[in-house]
Amino acid sequence: MSGRRRVKNVAYDEDEWGFNDDDWDEDDDDYEPEVPARPAAALRKSTSAGASGRVPAMKTPSRPSEKNVKNGAASNRSGEESSRGKRSQGPQQSGNSDSKFVNCKSSEAYHTQNAFAPNAEPLSASSGTATAKPREPRNGSEGLDSPASRSAAVRTPGRPKPLTLVVVGHVDAGKSTLVGQLLRSTGTVEENVVQKMKKLSGEAGKGSFFLAWLCDEGDDERERGVTVDVSIRVVVTPNTGRRLALVDAPGHREFVCNMLGGAVLADVALLVVDTARFEAGFDGQTKEHLLIARCLGIQHFLVALNKMDELAWSEEMYAKTVERLRAYMVGLEMNCAPGQISFVPISAFRGVNVVNADALAAIEKARAEGAGKRKPDPRSVADAEERERHMQALASWWTGPTVLEAIEHLEIRSRSDQQKLLSEPFAACVADAWSPSASSVDVHLSFKVVQGVLRVGDTVVGLPGETPMVCRSLVSFGETRESCESGDIVEKGVFSPGSHGSHAVIDVSVGSVLCARSHLLPVTTVCRCRLMVFGTDLPLVQGRQFVAHIHTFTGACTIRKIVGVINKKTGKLQGASGEKRAACAALGRGMVGLVEIATATSVAVQVKSTAGNQDGKDAPTSVLSHIILRDRGKTVAAGVIVATA
């Protein structure tokens, strides 16, 4: 295997070794690819693990460790945060950007590569100089050369609204395997790519990881058998045509920061549970992942009880696990609505209850027709027969939906709530930033639209640097669009400098916020937060330091002041109505308080609205208003920002 890590959000036309074909055969070992004569702007068909050519995949940058953030070694605005917005300072060299790649083992050099454009300029791990000549942008807009579909410039009326799900759960629960199975079962990746991963994983002694390898493309991820970075895959559901962005988040406790960055982008949390080893996972990362998702404002949860085949599809074990999970999720700490939680028994590895039988049959038929005279792979036939046996065992007691059916019919907000968000001024949080080349003045961004609408040609401002930019093109959910709206993930937006010169866009990076020019959000280093304290060995006291997570921003912070304790029953600050205020110098576990926090660097936030909906209920809290405090690898407190200094 090459030591070079493959980025996950580039639609390549080569396989793992740069070969321009989909099929795996013996001749590939000696094949030397020719540089294609077609223009670089041609649409690319991806045959790398986890990419299909129908839609681009996306990989968000690793977030800095909390230890480094608190020590000031990796602040949110520094170049060491590994945003791919860091531009190359080295001289350009001649070469072909479509066919040459660099063996890049350095994680820093890896993350400075272009995150989403096929014409990114690879950097040398040793010198940081460019090794490929970038293609000149056409009409100043690299988005016009996007590998995404061109057929949908605007959203088709009547089509279900796209949905973003973050896949969370304890390490080894089967998250990447489930995402890989969804890619396979929906026809997003071709069967020959799946068989290639089977061969490669088998040769590496990790044959059971072949589906996970469709998502985990890094050498370190494959060697360790764990997901490290967040990756995003777009699939289209076969029944309704709904576009889904699956955010595959790491489950290991060392990478909770990366998981948190992925959860910020999501509308729904898909929790994957290792049912056969439930207790170990439940007290591990399962609880924390659920808590983080809830603290970020996610209200809808779909729980996939995985590896049920190892329990012989025991209905009793399924019921016990559901009871434990539901009790925690509707309890005081998470306070989820029971009607917004769904449970589905599955076997991600065998593909049981992931996609319904009719959809699978249609996909397999389409594959057979596309294969022409090729004989069906006997290994695929064997997999189908094994899956059918397990489906019959499950059908003896389960009459509910499959995972994909449950996702297809999720409605996360009412029509009135959606219309209210659309009427708000545009705002979005940046998840990734990169430059197409060292000489380009454009910047490429991936972001989550929090509210409002963004259209190609609009001028927006990047905060906290107040950088004006003009939107040139948008790629969202695998389609090139003329606009995007609240709830959408934009895999790649191309922006040109505004009125303040070509270098202003450099200030926009991970943790930045895009706003409409007429409605800028407050930028601050001091804010008042309403926090609930979770598990912590030490109470929250003045002067204690944490790592703050605010939307996609990560940075060191300090408790400036404990303003007071909030009454859980009334929701009001004790003493606010004239009664004697109890002295409070610390907040312990289970307490809710008003806290003043100072961040090391400026961050754009949105103060929580106090206005309610027409039905009298509280308005949904924007992800730009949420804050999570972590320390020593644990989530200590979370809440909302209610005021800025």
Structural domain contains residue 366: yes
Strand partners, 20: none
Residue 117 in domain: no
543 shares a domain with 510: no
Is 561 part of any domain? yes
Residues 449, 429: one domain? yes
- Given 386, 408, 430, the domain boundary residue is 408
Q: In terms of residue numbers, what domain contains 403?
A: 266-408
Contact 511, 603 (CB under 8 A): yes
Same domain as 510, residue 539: no
* CATH number of residue 489's parent domain: 2.40.30.10
Residue 329, domain member (yes or no):
yes
Structure confidence at residue 473 (pLDDT):
96
Q: Of 253, 254, 205, 243, nearest to 225 (Cα)?
A: 205
The verdict on 433 and 385 lying in the same domain is no
Q: Which residues of the chain have pLDDT under 70?
A: 1-158, 206-207, 216-229, 251-254, 368, 370-381, 499-506, 575-583, 610-619
224 part of a folded domain: no
252 backbone dihedrals φ, ψ, rounded to 5°: -70, 145
Give me 46's structure tokens.
């991806």
Neighbouring residues of 481: CB distance < 8 A, sequence distance ≥ 6: 152, 153, 154, 155, 456, 474, 475
Residues 401 and 293 grouped into a single domain: yes
pLDDT at site 110: 31
Task: Using the CB atoms, write b or e for 68-87: b if 16+ within 10 Å.
Answer: ebbeeebbbbbeebbbbbbb
Strands (E), 321-435: 341-345, 427-434
- The answer to whether residue 445 sits within a structural domain is yes
271 & 387 share domain: yes
How far is residue 434's CA from residue 430's CA, in Å, rounded to a whole number? Answer: 11
| pLDDT value for 219 | 61
Please report whether residue 476 resides in a domain: yes
How many whole angstroms separate alpha carbon 432 and alpha carbon 401?
Answer: 35
Among 325, 286, 287, CA closest to 535: 287
pLDDT of residue 105: 32
Q: Using alpha carbons, select from 166, 150, 153, 161 the residue that is nearest to residue 55.
A: 150
pLDDT at 605 (0 to 100): 97
483/530 same-domain check: no
**What 3 state SS string does 132-157 have?**
CCCCCCHHHCHHHHCCCECCCCCCCC
Which DSSP letter does residue 583 get? P
Domain identity same for 270 and 402? yes
Please report how the helices 175-185 and 357-371 are oriented relative to each other, as an axis angle in degrees rounded to 10: 60
Single-letter code of the amino acid located at 204: A
C-alpha gyration radius of the chain: 24
pLDDT the model gives residue 50: 37
83 located within any domain: no
475 and 398 assigned to the same domain = no
- Are residue 502 and residue 630 in the same domain, yes or no? no
Same domain, yes or no: 621 and 501: no
Q: Pick from 408, 432, 466: which residue ends a domain?
A: 408
Q: How many domains does the chain have?
A: 3
**DSSP 8-state assignment for residue 92:** P
Per DSSP, the residues of 115-132 read: SS-TT---B-TTT--B-S
pTM of the predicted model as reported, rounded to 2 decimal places: 0.73
Domain end among 516, 550, 569: 516
Q: Check whether residue 474 and residue 598 sit in a common domain.
A: no
Q: Which two tokens stand for residue 643?
A: 């005021």
